[in-house]
Amino acid sequence: LIDIVERSPGSAILSRRYSYDLFYIDNAVGQYLLSTIFMIDKMEAKEGLSHDKMMQILKHRGITWGNIYTKKQLKEKKIIRYIPHYDAIAKGKKKIILDIFRRWPKGRDSYVIAAVRKFSEGLIVLELNENDMEQLKRRFALQKVIDDIKTGRDIVFAYILDKNGKILAHSKPEFYGETIDDPYYQKCLSSSKKKEFFRKIPLKKGEYILEFSAPILVRRLPKSLLTVGISTKSILPILKRDKKNIFLVGLLLMILGTAMILFLFRIQSRHLKKMQELEEKIHTSEKISSMGNLAAGVAHEIRNPLNAVNMAVQRLQREFLPAKLEEQKEFIEFTDVIRKEIKRVNDIIEQFINFSRITEINRKKMDIIPILKELTLISQELATIRGVQVKAKFPDNPVNLWIDKDKIKQALINLVYNGIEAIDNSGKVTISLFTQKNGIVQIDISDTGHGIPDEELSKIFEHYYTTKDKGLGLGLPIAYRIVAGHGGTIEVKSEIGKGSTFSIILPENPEVSLT
């Protein structure tokens, strides 16, 4: 916009090369001069108008000179200044002479407009010199720019001020020529740098006008100031909506960021936990392996002396039985105690040996139902002694699994015996088998014992952890290692006073691991 106003004499506003703009400006000048003639004619006819008063009016309107000729003066050809095409007016052929669109011959610099009076007889002539005509054209050129600006959306006002604050062009033409006394505009005009100025003019209900001002240089004029005011009435709802959207987007990003951080923290914690569990398993495995090797070596060395002691006790019972009956009874009781303790020590040694060999699993595909039936029969003797019933629930069809028969049998015996020993008086142990659609077989061993406290559930598979007076704490760890060696797992559910259920879960596919 500033560039348009400041264009050189060859610009679209002041140049004859652009016929549309030239026509607009010349037409506006012509209309302005004719309206001035009409105004002077009316004033003179109504109340009389002296020549000096008329010159004051013309000076205010930017016109160099003018005169009113009476009918008599025209008849007598008492013409003060040259009027082009005067004969046409005198003969009544023309009522208006508008000679402002071309230059006079060299040596003359005047533009003339003449019109026959309407409210009285005679002729009114106006004359403009080169400078006044240029000022007048510039005024209408600037006004055209301001009018074009005003057609823009939300523009409240637009005007151009000269260095004294006089309005050269305004979006409301009636303000032309008035003076605006505002120190802010003087500050803008006095700036040594060519830059734009901006301020807010507050209105009611939070609305305001954005006023932009910038110094401009119009041809042959001192520095002027172009000012445009834009209303924010239509912008405020958009700004309000944008602020709300920015807030919502920011809040959403913050929530997503927090969720992502928590998600990453959870994944990292889970990964760290798995790493710790893996390290613990590796450490435990190394510890168990070394302990198993040590136990196997010690057990082998202890077994031979124990066998020798057991054979010696048997020989004592056969060959050194006392002659007296009373002494025989005491002797047999004493030697039986020794044999029982030797058997108990031998059982402990056997557990250590089995503990060291459970990693050696030879799997074959076979039906597990016969193994469970055999387990039911084996456990009946201990169950009968403790007043416990052992019940079995198996499907009629075979259930084939890839298992090591002896190892699985050992794991099941440990769990069933634990269930029987968990019942103090009378109770029941139930052995059940279920097949699932996803290739999983579940064997449940449930008892009606005293149950396991919650704080002990996480420890029951730890090595050497036991709540029994004579237990070694190896039965459940051995069972778990055997099941894990088959790619399965053991789950435990227990309730104090109602009993426990140990679930052995095994895959039918030998290549699948649930551990």
Q: Which of 135-144, 268-277, 475-484, 497-506 has the highest mean pLDDT?
A: 497-506
Report pLDDT for 263. 92
Predicted local distance difference test score (pLDDT) of residue 249: 93
Q: What stretches of 152-258 adopt beta strand conformation (E)?
A: 155-161, 167-170, 197-202, 208-217, 223-231
Residues 388 and 413 in one domain: yes
Judge if pTM exceeds 0.95.
no
Domain annotation covers residue 141: no
Contact present, 64 and 52 (Cβ < 8 Å): no
Q: Is the pLDDT of residue 150 over 80?
A: no
Select from 182, 217, 232 the last residue of a domain: 232
Q: What is the DSSP string of 453-505?
A: -HHHHTTTTSTT---SSS--S-HHHHHHHHHHHTT-EEEEEEETTTEEEEEEE
- pLDDT (tens digit, 9 = 90+) per residue, 195-227? 789 898 888 777 888 899 988 876 656 688 899
- For 31-77, the DSSP string reads HHHHHHHHHHHHHHHHH---HHHHHHHHHHTT--EEEEE-HHHHHTT
Q: Are residues 220 and 263 in the same domain?
A: no
| Residue ranges making up the domain that contains 297 | 237-350
Can you give the pLDDT at residue 441? 92
292: its two tokens: 């198993």
Per-residue pLDDT, 15: 41
Average of pLDDT values for 384-403?
88
Please report whether residue 136 resides in a domain. no
Residue 134 lies in a domain: no
Mean pLDDT, the chain, rounded, equals 81
- So what's the pLDDT on residue 270? 87
Residues 376 and 466 in one domain: yes
Whether 138 maps to a domain, the answer reads no
Instruction: Tell me the per-residue pLDDT of 100-141, one tens digit each, with 9 for 90 and over.
Output: 765 544 445 688 899 999 999 899 999 998 888 888 888 888
**465-485 pLDDT per residue, tens:** 666 655 566 778 888 888 888
The whole-number pLDDT of residue 323 equals 77
- 242 and 219 within one domain: no
- Residue 361 in this model has a pLDDT that exceeds 90: no
Q: Is 88 helix (H, G, I), strand (E, B) or coil?
A: helix
| Residues ≥6 apart with Cβ < 8 Å to 9 | 15, 219
Q: Which pLDDT does position 40 carry in this prediction? A: 94
Look at the chain and report how many structural domains it folds into: 4
Is the pLDDT at 11 greater than 50, yes or no?
Answer: no
Cβ atoms of 211 and 1 within 8 Å: the answer is no
Chain segment 20-44, per-residue pLDDT in tens: 456 777 888 889 999 999 999 999 9
* Total number of residues shown for the chain: 515
Q: Are residues 346 and 469 in the same domain?
A: no
Same domain, 410 and 366: yes
> Tokens 């136990």 map to which residue?
295
Can you tell me the mean pLDDT for 425-442?
88
Are 177 and 292 in the same domain? Answer: no
